[in-house]
Amino acid sequence: MIFISCGKQNQPAPSLSSTNPPASFSYNSLKVNGLYNGFNYTNVNIKPVIKISFTAPVNHTSVANGVSLKTKTGVITTYSATYENNDSTIVISPISLQPITQYALAISTDLQSSKNGSLQSAITVQLTTAIDSTNKFPVVSDDQLLDLVEKQTLKYFWDFGHPTSGLARERNTSGDVVTTGGTGFGVMAIVAGINRNFITRADGLARMQKMVSFLKNTAQSFHGAFPHWMNGATGAVVPFSAQDDGADLVETAYLTQGLLTARQYFNGASAAETGLRTDINTLWSNVEWDWFRQNNQNTLFWHWSPNYAWSTNMQVNGWDEALITYVLAASSTTHAIPKNVYDNGWALNGGIKNGNTYYGVKLPLGPALGGPLFFAQYSFLGIDPNSLADAYASYDVQNKAHTMINYNYCVANPKTYNGYSADCWGLTASDIQDGYTASSPTNDVGVIAPTAAIASLPYTPVQSMQALKFFYYKLGDKTWGQYGFYDAFNLTNVWFADSYLAIDEGPIIVMTENYRSGLLWNLFMSCPEIKTGMKGLGFTSPKL
């Protein structure tokens, strides 16, 4: 049989290429400077060689749209591209990366093969460049460096004190909000600054008079105790939290520690210095330490509110940063507490003892692994821990052990954070990216605060100087500013704070000066009331 197809026998057959798209291709392998480490690379040099291989040759013209290199903040970084393995490997060579910066090398599905096939799945390679090991500032002697650190840090309290009251602003962005405890630290910093001839005694005295007059005549207080925060222009309470809108006994203790130190320093016979001492004694006498036992309980309570009374119900129990509160409460000549309040409330009848060994160091007191380093610093700006002991511990042993555990933990770096080392250590309360936390070995988020290691100079002088030099010389262009060291940094996420906090600035200058001369320790421990009070609590020291 013969079949005749009319009109179609001369048309061409359909083309396969018009119905089937080009075959897709996929990622095959990756090497950065010859090594594969997944898709995240740290300590990369500023001119790395990045080789990305695919299962098919790459269309050169698609690379510009398909491959991008940007910083974490979205800044486009230029690169050159060459090819190997018959064009199936792209060799990316960044023109010039910046040190300590995060970059994302993104390969999108816009990348095409030489046959115009699409990349099946996008990939991103994270690159963090290494620290530039060159010195950012000229090398000076250790003594000159410590002078510089003290002088520059003092500027926070001197230049940035509130213009009306002279009190220390909470932080460099806090406007009218001043801090009671940070002011106490600042008072001690000013004494150190006068002693180092950074400011004159007359100027220091005038600033001190301004501060003390404001506290005595303007600032709100409650049973002699001041709030955590107040308005530096009006003296009105600025609530620290919802129900913390009244007295803060621990912050008041930090303030009083500073004021008593200043009282001992300004010991001249002039009317101005005599008047300052009288005003400080008035503030000191007004604090009703015993009232904060909340109806004669054998413990002190941290807060009292005119609106919420004792609702926070937070006891001041050790071991933490508040030893100075009990020392001052026992030393008061007007509102003293008895020894059993210290033993029961602070020492928890021995419950503050630890005795375990961490990272090769036995810890006498406190929580596991020691807690944040401010525990060993805030109360000991004035209290000299050297050869100081009571029924519970030897305090130079305690503070050195605490600091060495913190140091050894950072060197061991169990969480493998970038940058932790013998050069770069110190966990304490500080700003973190998008927040604030009390960093410690049990709450380690990868953030180092310069104050932690530097204010540990009396306890770990070798390790602290090593860290200080690293912060200043190697990271200095990112960590050192107008008022000394910025608050904190994270080399894993590449974040550097631009903030300064009074409670972190103060311990840097005060503990540096105590390390060098013992000045603030000698002044505070010379207070006759402190000698009597600490002896009454069972402390022994050559200075009592």
Q: What is the DSSP string of 348-403?
A: GGGTTB---EETTEE--BSSGGG--GGGGTSGGGTS--TT-B-SS-BHHHHHHHHH
DSSP state of 37: B
Q: State the CATH architecture for 21-129.
A: Sandwich (2.60)
Domain 142-536 has CATH 1.50.10.140: yes
CA distance 154 to 506: 8
Residue type for 147, please? D
Q: Measuring CA to CA, which residue among 112, 198, 113 is closest to residue 153?
A: 198
Indicate if the pLDDT at residue 4 is higher than 60.
no
Residue range 84-105: mean pLDDT, rounded: 96
pLDDT of residue 96: 87
153-to-63, 167, 213, 260, 450 alpha-carbon distances in Å: 50, 16, 24, 22, 12
CA distance 161 to 206: 13
Residue with tokens 């040190």, as numbered in its chain = 99
Indicate if the pLDDT at residue 284 is higher than 80.
yes
**CB atoms inside a 10 Å sphere around CB 55:** 16
Asked if residue 183 lies in contact with residue 259, where contact means CB atoms within 8 angstroms, the answer is no
Q: For residue range 391-447, what is the model confidence (pLDDT) as tens digits?
A: 999 999 999 999 999 999 999 999 999 999 999 999 999 999 999 999 999 999 999
- For the chain, the average pLDDT equals 95
The whole model's pTM is what? Answer: 0.93
> Coil, strand or helix: which one is 50?
strand
Query: Where exactly are the structural domains of the chain?
Result: 21-129, 142-536
Neighbouring C-alpha atoms within 13 Å toward the C-beta of 202: 0
Which residues 6+ apart lie within 8 Å of 269 measured at CB?
Answer: none
CA distance 353 to 404: 18
**CB atoms inside a 10 Å sphere around CB 27:** 16
pLDDT confidence bin for 291, thresholds 50/70/90: very high
CA distance 204 to 210: 10
Q: For residue range 228-244, what is the model confidence (pLDDT) as tens digits?
A: 999 999 999 999 999 99
